[in-house]
Amino acid sequence: MDSERRKITIKDFLQWVIEHKDYAQLYSSLIATGALTFSIISFFVSKKRANKDKMISDARYEEQRKQYEERLKEERRRREEDKLESEEKHRFSEKPRLVFKSSKVVSNSNSERILLRMEFINKGRDTAYDIVPDLECTAKKMDMTEFVMRRCEPVQDPVVMVGESFSMVMSYDKEEKDFFRMTPTIRYEDASGRVYKQTFCIDISDRLGNGIIINYAQPELCDE
């Protein structure tokens, strides 16, 4: 019974195909169109998925790039801090220090300008310095008005060993008062090329030019 029904079914199908053979090309076209439509839909779905994956990948890359740049920035900051800390420790281990010793008005000062000779001593440790005093400094009188003092000659022996003294000569108008406060700055360089500076605050207390140091001038490491 089942076998007969199967034969009838197949027979009927073959008969249907024979009867509709004129539509075979149409059916083929429909099948091809369906396949093409499916391919197009699959393409757009795949493209959309690829774009989404690319957006996710780009977002991850951007996040990783930002994290990498942050790490580099933090690393540079730490290296700079370590460098400054190392330089500071090295500076303190050397203990660069110039100390004001005395000052006197030079006896051969002419009638228009007064020459003031100032003496300093290198009390650093284990190193010599190349001394370069600033060309000018500001002085302030008791009435708080200011005038400029100028260095009038170079340091005779600019390389100063530890324990040695050096002097510089500053000049100012004879019209200025004998009592004033001056702030000379001295720069000095060590053998490794590091440049320091110290700014002294000195009171000139009489006509002879005797000076009294009123601050503890701390050495500063210069950028240049």
Position 179: which residue type?
F
CA distance 132 to 98: 12
DSSP state of 161: -
Task: Give the 3-state secondary structure of residue 15.
Answer: helix
CA distance 168 to 24: 116
Binned at pLDDT 50, 70 and 90, residue 3 comes out as very low
DSSP state of 65: H
Strands (E), the chain: 98-105, 113-122, 129-133, 136-141, 146-151, 159-160, 165-173, 180-182, 185-189, 195-199, 202-204, 211-213, 220-221
Statement to judge: residues 83 and 115 lie in one domain: no
Which CATH number do you get for residue 154?
A: 2.60.40.1470
Number of domains composing the chain: 2
**What's the half-sphere exposure (Cβ side, CA atoms, 13 Å) at 36?**
6
Statement to judge: residues 16 and 118 lie in one domain: no
Select the highest-mean-pLDDT range: 43-57, 75-89, 108-122, 188-202. 188-202
The residue-averaged pLDDT of 94-100 equals 81
Nearest to 127 by CA among 83, 166, 101, 97: 97
Statement to judge: residues 100 and 195 lie in one domain: yes
Statement to judge: residues 89 and 100 lie in one domain: no
Asked which of 27, 62, 94 is the last residue of a domain, the reply is 94
Statement to judge: residues 81 and 104 lie in one domain: no
Binned at pLDDT 50, 70 and 90, residue 14 comes out as low
* DSSP string covering 95-158: ---EEEEEEEE-TT--SSEEEEEEEEEE--SS--EEEEE-SEEEEEETTS-EEEEEE-S--SS-
Task: Print the domain residue range for 167.
Answer: 96-221
Question: Against a cut of 0.85, is the pTM above it?
Answer: no
Nearest to 212 by CA among 202, 221, 198, 220: 202
Partners of 179 in the beta sheet? none
The residue-averaged pLDDT of 160-189 equals 88
Binned at pLDDT 50, 70 and 90, residue 24 comes out as low
More confident residue, 136 or 111: 136
Asked which of 52, 74, 94 is the last residue of a domain, the reply is 94
CB contact at 8 A, 118 and 168 = yes
Average predicted confidence (pLDDT) for the chain: 81
Sign of CA dihedral 172, 177, 178, 180: negative
| Residue 5 clears pLDDT 60, i.e. is over it | no
| Residue 2 clears pLDDT 60, i.e. is over it | no
Statement to judge: residues 116 and 76 lie in one domain: no
Statement to judge: residues 100 and 90 lie in one domain: no
CA distance 92 to 26: 97
